[in-house]
Structure 1
């Protein structure tokens, strides 16, 4: 069979993956905190027809110059599907629980919360949340809400985690609070029924040296991988010291009353879609042409 036919098949598979990624980007053009994907390609192993040869010199005379290798490529393959973690545009909503991040870092979400154990081996809620045992996700989507108990949660009911009394814990605004506010450094305060300003804790962020190494887990959230390079003080993501205070150490500031929108650029996506479509069509033409050549070979006997 002709090598060009298999090269065309590999090209079609690669451009199909690229179209899948583009379609997902366009579908999430209005998704808060969404980070677009990008497909890159690599060439496959090449088949060598002849190897390289050096110059031929005899008795000081140059008899022949060097010869380059001759190789035929065998197609392309998907090299990577990257998560592009650039900043999305900020949309003002004037809703106090809509939070946008300006800079690096992500909100920390927790579910199936586990409390550290006390001296008797029993869960101790006064010590906050055990990060090492709790299901943790990260997000840039800052549309938060209050549940029935006054805890700050996202649209799926996952708790927004921060620092409270020196521990990693949920952030709660009492039902009797007259009002509340969230500062740029993540400090959450409220005015109680007597008019006194009270502290409800501080939102803390997770910072990563390689946010592109996070794995998407659906619902606008990411989960930690071994290659994300999360900031820690001892190599383990398990304590309040592993959560960074906003506006410190190069971490983002928290903007209340706004949302970070998707970083998808429709003009760019449409351009990439046209390129992928034309590439797919060209690879199908390679297969058609190869088939016609094979048909000519079969007809030689007639």
Structure 2
């Protein structure tokens, strides 16, 4: 069989994977805190027709002659750039301007997210739409007493409220996690990321917004997806054309094989 046919098959598989990632990005264009994916490719091993030779005698050196055997998936990267901010004027909609991620807990497990749409449960604890608790700088839940008359979240993460006596009080400070390699986090769905060994050297410290290189917090706003529709549609077109070009390689190789078969006649 012709090597070009198998190279075309590998190219088709790669373009299909790229379209899968692009489709997921477009599907999440309005998902708060979503971080888009990006596909990179790399060539497969090459078959050496003739090896390199050093200069010898009256002849100079020769470069190697190699035939590539197709392409393969290099990586699917998560791009953690800042998304656009959407104003909601809702006090428990929190956006991070800069680096850092919210930490939410479920039992002994901690997840991380940039989606800041939080709510109060029956006990006054701040939770997300999955019921996971928003962690403070000590990793504990942040709870606003039921008799509080009003509450607000400051840019430094402090959750303050007016108690029953009419005096200001604090419920805690929202903790932000910062990672050495945010792209190393694992997506687990529901706008959540899980720690991996390549994201950070151990569990990250939770510190107040604006400290340790972390961004500030904006109450009454949400960070939206960082997906650029114009860029995604452009990538979709290139992936589609790439897929078509690889199918043409297969059909052309098939025509050549057909000509070889017809030589028998």
- Using the size of structure 2 for normalisation, the TM-score is 0.98
Deviations 1:11-39 (A, max 9, x none): 00000000000000000000000000000
Match of 1:90 among 85, 91, 105: 85
Match of 1:184 among 143, 150, 155: 155
Match of 2:95 among 96, 100, 103: 100
Distance 2:207 2:159 in 1: 15
1:195: how far off?
0.8
Gaps of 5+ in 2: none
Q: How many residues align?
A: 265
SS of residue paired to 1:53:
coil
| Aligned position for 1:218 | 189
| Aligned position for 2:200 | 229
Distance 1:201 1:245 in 2: 10
| Aligned position for 1:31 | 31
Query: After the TM superposition, which residues 34-183 of structure 1 pair with which residues of structure 2 at under 5 Å, given as runs?
Result: 34-57=34-57, 63-112=58-107, 134-163=108-137, 167-183=138-154
Distance 1:41 1:193 in 2: 61
| Aligned position for 1:285 | 248
Bigger Cα Rg: 1
Is 1:276 the counterpart of 2:221? The answer is no
Distance 1:7 1:43 in 2: 10
- Using the size of structure 1 for normalisation, the TM-score is 0.86
Gaps of 5+ in 1: 58-62, 113-133, 231-235
Q: CA RMSD in A?
A: 1.0
Is 1:297 the counterpart of 2:260? The answer is yes
1:168: how far off?
2.5
Deviations 1:140-171 (A, max 9, x none): 000000011110000111100113xxx43100
SS of residue paired to 1:185:
coil
